[in-house]
Each structure stands twice: as structure tokens, then as C-alpha cells.
Structure 1
């Protein structure tokens, strides 16, 4: 009878045990990492073909987070714009109330209308020149330029201040109802930027420096737009050359250019009618602008809610693919620690064995 004996040298056993310790140590390190982070240490190796799904989900989640951050900024912009428009409307309203009180003839503090109009103009310009993150909110695409020029500030392009431009139209002032109506008509042309006789007096030449109403080809310039969600874009821009603010600047400048209380009575009534009409239009227009901003805020808030829900779903799905069960990971760490400890004990015992111990 023949017996086969397989011999394993102590060197071979030592090398095998060393490899076992090394692989167990690496597995323990990986399990410890997973236990600490809650995520698979090697996602692609663990998921195999399913790794494609998690890559797609992470790309979608990155896009979702980009939209959400952009909407946060847009929401803050809209809130700042709304506060600015409301402040401008309050300034106009305070002057309008006094103008209405003195509509047909100068009654109560009519001589203060000029001073109040200048103060309101300065405030109107200040709020329309509001900046957010370095951009002027009411300049349109040309956000690097402050949209409105202060009443007494010289425009570097035309060499005129708004005060100079309106004063050159006003001249010596109206002497009767007819001349007052004619004067108001000339001022209307300037604020419609249609003063062909002296284009430098136009609103978009001397008073306004943002994106014009029309482009070089005579087509309307677009307002600012933003993507709030996939396939959903909103127009949110409000410019200081929108009708409401042009009317406000016009009505206030008509009072700021002169002390209306010194006018001829007939001229006064006609002139003040134009002033009150402009300021009333401004009030109505600013209310409409505030409503539009509020509507856009609702759109952004709705989109943000949708994105938050989508993000939660995507992150949950990503977690299903990439996260580990903490209890399973803890059990695995404990098991590997025991296995490694046993390997160390075997190694220690082997290192103590010697032929000399048996030859004594």
C-alpha cells in the first residue's frame, strides 16, 4: 500500500499566513472606512454594471443643486427688486399727494413742491441704482452701469445733467394754458427719447445709462431671463427705463425744474395736470411691476419646492446604491478583527517553535 504525504514547509506556511494577514488587514481597513463614512469603499467594484445608474443619478443631482443655488440667488434678487420698487413708489406717492392737493391752483405749501420733487428724484435714482453681487438690478443686460443719472449730475457722454436737459426745454416757462400744454408735449418727447431737435436731451441719452428699449436694429431688447428648472425659463428683469420709472422721473423733473407756485394761473393748472398724470401713471405702473415681481417670486418658489423634492428622491436612490448597512459593516469589522487577531496568534506561536526545543 502506498501512502502520499504532502509536506508544507514552515517557510511556505509563514508566507501563506503573511498573505492572509495582509489581505485581512486590507479588508479590515475597507470595512472600517465603510463603517466611518457610511458609503461603499469601492463603489464601482461593488456595483458593477449598476455603477452606470449611480453616475447618472449623481449627474442629475449636481444639475438639481445648480438650479437650487441659482434660484436662491434669483429669489434674493427679486426680493431686493421688490423692496426697491416699493420704496420708489412711496417717494413718488408723497409728492403726488401734495401735487393733487394743489392741482388747479397753488394752495398748501405749493412752493415746497420743487424741493420735495428734488428729494424724491434723488431717492428714486438711488433705489433704481441698487446693486446686488456687483450687478445693477435695474440696468438690464448692461448691469455694470448704474441705470439712472442724478438730477444735477453731468452725463459724461452728452455733457448735460438731467437738470440742464429739462431746463433747456423749460426755458422761461409757460405763460398761458396753450404754452404750458406745448411745453408738456416737448417734455413728453424727451422722455420718450424722441426729441429729434436735440437728442442729447432724450431720457436714454442723458438720464438713463442701462440697456435701451430698442437695440441697434430697432427691435425691443429682451429683459433678463433665468432658468429655474429643466426646460423652464422665466423673464425677471425690470429696467429703470420701463414706462413706470420713466413717468416717475418725468413727473418729478417737471416739478424739480421750477417753482410752480410762481406760474400764471392758467398755465399752472395745465402744467400741473401733466405732472399729476405722469406721477399717477408712475404709481399705477409701479404697482403692476411689483405684482409681476411677486408673480415671478411664486414661480421661483414653486420651482424650488419641486427641485427640493426631486433632490430628496435622487439622494435616496443614490444612497440605495452607494450606502452600506451600518450594522452589517460593524459586524464585518468585528469578524475581521477576530480573524486578524487569530492570525497574529498563530504567527506568534510559529515564531516560537524551534527544533532545539525538542532536542533538549
Structure 2
């Protein structure tokens, strides 16, 4: 009978032991990383085909976080818009109250209405020119420019200021009800951007610099919009050329251009009736604008709450895929440490062996 005894050279054994130490060291480093981070060191290698599910979850979570961040900014913008509109509405209300008390004839406070209207105009323009992170909130898509010109500020495009336009339209003032009606009609045409006599006097030519109400084809221009979630879009733009703000500006401008207490008695009632009509329309329109902003705020808040819940679910699912059992990882690390220590001990003992030790 023949026996075959396998042999392993010292070189081969050393090379085998070195590879074993190297592999054990790498495995120990990987286990140490998993213990410290609580996540698999090589997620896709460990999960195999299931790694596609993790990739999809991570992509959805990235989208969710993007929506949450943009919604936080949008919520702040809506809050700033709400505060601005309510502030302007308050100033219009105070002027309207004095105007109503002097609607039929000059009474208490009529002589100061021009100054009150001028101050309210400055406040309206300053408030509507509010910007957030560099974007003017009431300019529509042209958010890089402030929407409204100040009362005495010349618009470079027309070389006119709002004050110049009203002075031109008002002229020497009305002398009777008919002339008061004619002047009010001319002012209406300018604020409707339909002044056929001089287009430079139009509201959107001299008073306003934001997105126009209509495009070249006469269709309404696009409003500012935002995507708050996948497939969910809101249109939240409120512009300074919306009817409410144009009417408010018009009513204040009609008061700011003249001292009504000195106006011809025959024209006074007719002119003031148009002022009251403009301010009332502006006041009611701003209330509607506030309601629309508030509605959009509710949508954003509700959507944000849903996204927070969705993010929690997604992060939990990702964690279930990627996390490691800490007790298993620590046990594995300890076993690898013992294995590596044993390998080092064997290597140390082998390195001490020499044939010279047996020849002495």
C-alpha cells in the first residue's frame, strides 16, 4: 500500500498566513466601521438585488427633502406677503375712513387728506416693493426689479413720475360734475393701461415695472407658481398691478394730486365718489388677496406635515436595509480580533524557528 504525504513549504505557509492576516485585517476594519456608524460598510454588496430598493428609497427621500426645504422658503415668503398686504390694507382703511366722512362735502379733516394720501402712497409703494432673499414679492416673474415707482420718482422708460401723470390728467381741476367725471374717466383709463391719448401715462408704463397683466397677444401672463410636492403645484403670485392694488393706488393718487377742500363745490361730490369707489374696491380686493395667500399657506403647511411623515417612513425603511445589528457587529469584531491575534502569534512563533536551533 502506498501512502502519499502532502507537503507545504515554509514559504507557502508564510504567504498563506500573510494573506489570511490581510483578509482578517480588512474584515476587522469593516466590522469596526459598522460598529462605529451602525450601518453596513458595503451596503450594495451585502444587499445584493435588494440594493435597487434602497436606491429608489434614497432618491425619493432626496426629493422629499428638496420639497421640504423649498416649502420652508415658500412658507416664509407667503408670510411676508400676508404681512405686507395686511399692512397696506390697514393704511387704505384709515384713509378711506376720513374720505367717507368727507364724501359729500369738506368737513373734519378734509384739508389734511392730501397729506394723508401722500403718506399712504409712500407706505403702499415701500411695502409692495418688499423683497425676500433678493426677490421682490409683488413683481411677478420680473422679481429682480421693484414693482412700483414712488410718487415723485421718474421712470426712466417714460421720463415721467406718477405725480407728473396725475398732474397732467387732472389739469386745472374740475369745474362741474361733468368735468369731474371726465377727469376721473381719464384717470381710470391710465390705471387700466388704456390711455389712448398718451400710452406713457399708463399704469404699466410709468407706475409699474413688474410682470405685465397681459402678454402681447392679450392673454393673461403667467403667475408665479411653485411645486410643493410631486404632482402638486400652487399658483401664489400676488402682483402690484392686480386690480386691488391699482385701485388703491388710483384712489390715493386722486387725493394726493389736489387739496380737495379747495375743489369746486359742483365737482366735489362727483370726484370724491370716484375716490371712495376706488379705495373701497382696493380694500375689498386686498381682503380677497389675503384670503388667497392664507389658503396657500394652509396648503403649504399641510403638505409640509405630510412630507415630514413621509420622510420619517422612508428613513425608517432605509435604516432597516442599511443598519446592522450592533450586538452581532461587536461579536464579529471581537472574533476577528481574536483570529488576528492568533495569526500574529503563529507568525511570531514561525519566525523564531530555525534549523540552526537543532544543529547546535
Give the TM-score of the pair, scaled to structure 1: 0.97
Counterpart of 1:198 in structure 2 is 198
SS of the aligned residue for 1:158 comes to coil
CA distance in 2, matches of 1:211, 1:108: 40
CA distance in 1, matches of 2:249, 2:109: 22
SS of the aligned residue for 1:234 comes to strand
CA distance in 1, matches of 2:326, 2:126: 58
CA distance in 2, matches of 1:251, 1:161: 17
CA distance in 1, matches of 2:356, 2:199: 114
- The alpha-carbon deviation at position 319 of structure 1 amounts to 1.3
Counterpart of 1:208 in structure 2 is 208
Counterpart of 1:299 in structure 2 is 299
SS of the aligned residue for 1:156 comes to coil
- The alpha-carbon deviation at position 50 of structure 1 amounts to 1.0
Task: Note the alpha carbon deviations across 1:260-290, whole angstroms, 9 max, x for none.
Answer: 1101223222211111111111111101100
- In the alignment, structure 2 segments of 5+ residues that lack a partner are none
CA distance in 2, matches of 1:357, 1:84: 95
CA distance in 1, matches of 2:8, 2:296: 80
The answer to whether residue 188 in structure 2 is matched with residue 178 in structure 1 is no
Counterpart of 1:104 in structure 2 is 104
CA distance in 2, matches of 1:3, 1:219: 100
Task: Note the alpha carbon deviations across 1:177-222, whole angstroms, 9 max, x for none.
Answer: 2221221111111111111011111111110111111101111112
Moved more, 158-167 or 323-332: 323-332
CA distance in 2, matches of 1:234, 1:69: 16
CA distance in 2, matches of 1:334, 1:266: 102
CA distance in 2, matches of 1:128, 1:338: 73
Counterpart of 1:142 in structure 2 is 142
1:301-320 matches, cutoff 5 A: 301-320=301-320
CA distance in 2, matches of 1:119, 1:156: 23
Counterpart of 1:329 in structure 2 is 329
SS of the aligned residue for 1:41 comes to coil
- The alpha-carbon deviation at position 331 of structure 1 amounts to 1.3
CA distance in 2, matches of 1:291, 1:327: 56
Counterpart of 1:221 in structure 2 is 221
Counterpart of 1:284 in structure 2 is 284
- In the alignment, structure 1 segments of 5+ residues that lack a partner are none
RMSD over equivalenced CA pairs, Å:
1.2
1:50-129 matches, cutoff 5 A: 50-129=50-129
1:159-170 matches, cutoff 5 A: 159-170=159-170
CA distance in 2, matches of 1:8, 1:108: 116
- The alpha-carbon deviation at position 72 of structure 1 amounts to 1.2
CA distance in 1, matches of 2:118, 2:109: 15
- The alpha-carbon deviation at position 357 of structure 1 amounts to 2.6
- The alpha-carbon deviation at position 46 of structure 1 amounts to 0.9
CA distance in 2, matches of 1:64, 1:296: 19
CA distance in 1, matches of 2:104, 2:94: 18
CA distance in 1, matches of 2:29, 2:116: 76
Counterpart of 2:251 in structure 1 is 251
